Amino acid sequence: MSTFSKFIIPLFVVFVIGYGLKKKVLIYDTFLEGAKEGLITVFHIFPSIVAMVFAVNILLNSHIIEIGFQFLKPILNIMNIPLNILPMALIRPISGTASLAILNDIFLKLGPDSMAGRMASVLQGCTDTTIYVLTLYFGSVKITKTRYALSTGLFADFIGIIASFLIVNFFFA
């Protein structure tokens, strides 16, 4: 199964470039144009990454979350879920950058190839910042009564989190 993951990036690159050639797109010039936009994107998110990593580091190094969630440890142990992943699951729907900072902390302390590292990677990859997206999209058309949108979105996130744990345990156990 992991071979599929290995092949997807190379195949995707070949496909996109091949398709571009076939459609007579100036692929090199277009690549440069996109790369420039990518650089601008990084430039824009640079300060927020620094700000969030700074704040998240202080919070995580105070160990308040580990101590606060100590009572959940027996349950998590049975389900084979590392405690370190909890703050990430809680923050993910609110801020993508903050959860990225937590992801970095998990990689730093436990390594990207640990169970916690893999679960956190899948978690970051499979869900989105639900609360932020809802605020942005509903705000853009001035909708104030959002009915069951938030609870349904958060329910989907919750299932995504559970699925991440189960799938990583299944794949890499």
Partner 1 sequence: MINKLWGLFIIIGIVFTLITGNIDTLNDTILTGAKNGVNIAVELIPILVLWSGIMKIAEKSNLLEKIARIFQPVLSKLFPSLKKDSKALGYITSNIAANALGLGSAATPFGLKAMEEMQKENDCKDTASDAMITFLVLNTSGVTIIPTTVIALRLMHHSMNPEEIILPAILATICSSIAGLFLDYIRRSKKK
Q: Which 30-89 residues touch partner 1, going by CB under 8 A? A: 30-35, 37-39, 41-42, 45-46, 49-64
Residues 6+ apart with CB under 8 A from 122: 164, 167, 168
CA dihedral of 114, 120, 122, 125, whole degrees rounded to 10: -140
**Closest distance between partner 1 and the C-beta of residue 116, in Å?**
13
> Is 56 in contact with 88 (CB distance < 8 Å)?
no
Residue 46 vs 73, nearer CB to partner 1: 46
**Closest distance between partner 1 and the C-beta of residue 165, in Å?**
9
Residue 37 vs 72, nearer CB to partner 1: 37
Residues 101-130: x where in contact with partner 1 by CB under 8 A, - otherwise, as a string: x-xx--xx--xxx---xx--xxxxxxxxxx
Map residue 69 onto helix, strand or coil: coil
Residue 44 vs 74, nearer CB to partner 1: 44
Q: How far apart are CA 111 and CA 108, in angstroms?
A: 6
Q: Which of 68, 82, 60, 66 is nearest to 165 (CA)?
A: 82
Q: How far apart are CA 27 and CA 85, in angstroms?
A: 41
**Closest distance between partner 1 and the C-beta of residue 109, in Å?**
10
Q: How far apart are CA 84 and CA 60, in angstroms?
A: 9
Query: How many positions of this chain bind partner 1 (CB under 8 A)?
Result: 100
Of positions 70, 77, 80, 137, contacts partner 1 by CB under 8 A:
137
**Closest distance between partner 1 and the C-beta of residue 102, in Å?**
10
Q: Can residue 11 be called a binding residue for partner 1 (CB under 8 A)?
A: no
- Please name the residue that has the structure tokens 């799938």: 167
Residue 86 vs 118, nearer CB to partner 1: 118
Q: Can residue 159 be called a binding residue for partner 1 (CB under 8 A)?
A: yes
**Closest distance between partner 1 and the C-beta of residue 72, in Å?**
18
How does DSSP classify residue 114?
S
